Homo-oligomer: A and B are copies of this chain.
Amino acid sequence: MLVKDRTKYLLKLNNRLYLFNRLNKLITFLRNKKKITIKDIAEALGITPSAVSKALNDHPRISKQTKIAVKEVAKKLNYQPNNLASALRKGKSNLVGVMIPRTNSNFFSLAVEKIVERLSKEGYNVIIAQSNESFERECKNIESLLLIQVDGIIASMANETTSLEHYEKIKSKGVPLIMFDRWEDELDVDYVGIDDYKSSFLVVEHLKQQNCRRIAHIGGYKHTRIYKKRVKGFKDALKKYELPIDETLISESSLLIEDGRRIMSQLLELPDPPDAVYAAGDFAALGALQVLEEQGVQVPEDMALVGFSNETFTSLVKPSISTINQRSELIGTLAAETFLKRVDDSKWDPKLNKTMIDSELIIRNSSLKTK
């Protein structure tokens, strides 16, 4: 009995001490703005740091009371967990790297936005890196991302990139890698993107409906899978719709404005010029449009024009440019979800996820002859 009474007394004392300490801590905090750790919370409550850690992480063996008390004090002290420490211990940084060729493109910008949106819901922080279409930069970025121990990388390849070692390196480190849009077949990774092959069919079908007979294609470099697929789709679609395939009408370039200009000029000088141009990129389409305008060629009457990617400007120029919507938001969300599936042990599956979604043709004035 005596022991019990003494314990009660001690508890009371302890409680008083607790209140006192808490107050003290608060004052100290406000005065020196020092960083609060679980140790401080533990001290304030008269328990150990490990109990605090467990309480904060909802460990089943911690009582409800303690959890509530701990969380309350944590909030009052404005506790911010040290991510570095827990990352070090858990071997998980909660950081995901996203690497894209450029941020100032409608497609990538939207996709990234969705990736961030989805991943932050799961408590991840996203690091955005841009390669500027440069191979070297891409390598460096990957180095950096691995250095800071991201839990995964979601990437889209730079145009310049042909060698894939740096991507292999990610895989060899056991870091999940998800590719979207631009990617190579040889790279055995999860993938999300539109069906480039099918997209070309949409374009050709539409142009055929507009009574176009000779369709030219301004393509991207064939070492990149998506551009190869677009060309393949283009040719197969021509076949399907019984249109002639003329190799002189098919070109390969970086798809910049200048490329569009140069190639369009060349096409116009042909003895038998095309009556429609399908560019695998909007910038090239814009370049082509400029040349057409300069040379007084009527668009779409004399020459129909379709681009690819739905860049912002396509709806702003005159005539507005028909283009393929790659549904960037959906791709972004799916890429994020593929990553989440990959890191979820309970759903671990050796099979790779290859997700192909359907693109959408946006018909604008540059290709709409018939009303």
Point out residues on A near B: beta carbons under 8 Å.
Answer: 18, 21, 24-25, 28-29, 32-33, 80-85, 87-88, 93-95, 102-106, 109-110, 112-113, 116, 120, 125-130, 132, 140, 144, 146-149, 172-174, 257, 286, 290, 293, 312-313, 316-318, 345, 348, 350
Bound-complex Cα distance A93 to B84 (A): 8
Query: Judging by beta carbons under 8 Å apart, are A140 and B128 in contact?
Result: no
Bound-complex Cα distance A244 to B86 (A): 64
Query: Judging by beta carbons under 8 Å apart, are A172 and B293 in contact?
Result: no
User: What residues of chain B lie closer than 8 Å to A88, measured between beta carbons?
Assistant: 82, 84-85, 88
Q: In the complex, which of the residues B32, B93, B109, B313 contacts A312, with contact meaning CB atoms closer than 8 Å?
A: B313
Q: In the complex, which of the residues B80, B113, B317, B318 contacts A130, with contact meaning CB atoms closer than 8 Å?
A: B113
Distance of A151 from chain B, by nearest CB (Å): 12
Distance of A134 from chain B, by nearest CB (Å): 11
Given contacts A21-B345, A95-B148, A104-B106, 19 further A-B contacts (CB under 8 A): A32-B173, A32-B174, A80-B146, A80-B147, A82-B149, A84-B87, A103-B103, A103-B109, A103-B112, A103-B128, A104-B109, A113-B130, A125-B147, A125-B148, A126-B129, A127-B127, A128-B129, A313-B316, A318-B318
Distance of A73 from chain B, by nearest CB (Å): 19
Q: Evaluate whether A172 and B32 lie within 8 angstroms (CB atoms) in the complex, with A82-B149, A88-B84, A313-B313 already known.
A: yes
How many subunits of this chain does the assembly comprise?
A: 2
User: What residues of chain B lie closer than 8 Å to A110, measured between beta carbons?
Assistant: 104
User: What residues of chain B lie closer than 8 Å to A127, measured between beta carbons?
Assistant: 125-128
- Nearest B residue (CB) for A100: B103
Q: In the complex, which of the residues B83, B113, B317 contacts A149, with contact meaning CB atoms closer than 8 Å?
A: B83
Point out which of A93, A146, A174 has the most chain B C-beta atoms below 10 A from its C-beta: A174
Q: Evaluate whether A174 and B316 lie within 8 angstroms (CB atoms) in the complex, with A84-B88, A348-B21 already known.
A: no
User: What residues of chain B lie closer than 8 Å to A257, measured between beta carbons?
Assistant: 316
23 contacts between A and B (CB under 8 A): A18-B345, A24-B348, A25-B174, A33-B174, A82-B88, A83-B148, A83-B149, A84-B84, A84-B93, A103-B109, A103-B128, A104-B104, A104-B106, A104-B312, A113-B130, A120-B140, A125-B127, A125-B144, A127-B128, A293-B318, A312-B313, A316-B317, A317-B318
Which 10 A-B residue pairs are closest in the complex by CB-CB distance? A103-B103, A104-B109, A128-B128, A84-B88, A21-B348, A32-B172, A313-B313, A127-B127, A83-B148, A125-B144
User: What residues of chain B lie closer than 8 Å to A318, measured between beta carbons?
Assistant: 293, 317-318
Q: Evaluate whether A24 and B350 lie within 8 angstroms (CB atoms) in the complex, with A88-B85, A103-B104 already known.
A: yes
Bound-complex Cα distance A143 to B95 (A): 14
Query: Judging by beta carbons under 8 Å apart, are B106 and A174 in contact?
Result: no
Bound-complex Cα distance A149 to B93 (A): 12
User: What residues of chain B lie closer than 8 Å to A146, measured between beta carbons?
Assistant: 80
Point out which of A105, A126, A147, A293 has the most chain B C-beta atoms below 10 A from its C-beta: A147
Distance of A95 from chain B, by nearest CB (Å): 7
Q: Evaluate whether A28 and B85 lie within 8 angstroms (CB atoms) in the complex, with A128-B128, A148-B125, A317-B317 already known.
A: no
Distance of A323 from chain B, by nearest CB (Å): 15
Point out which of A102, A105, A146, A348 has the most chain B C-beta atoms below 10 A from its C-beta: A348
Bound-complex Cα distance A140 to B129 (A): 20
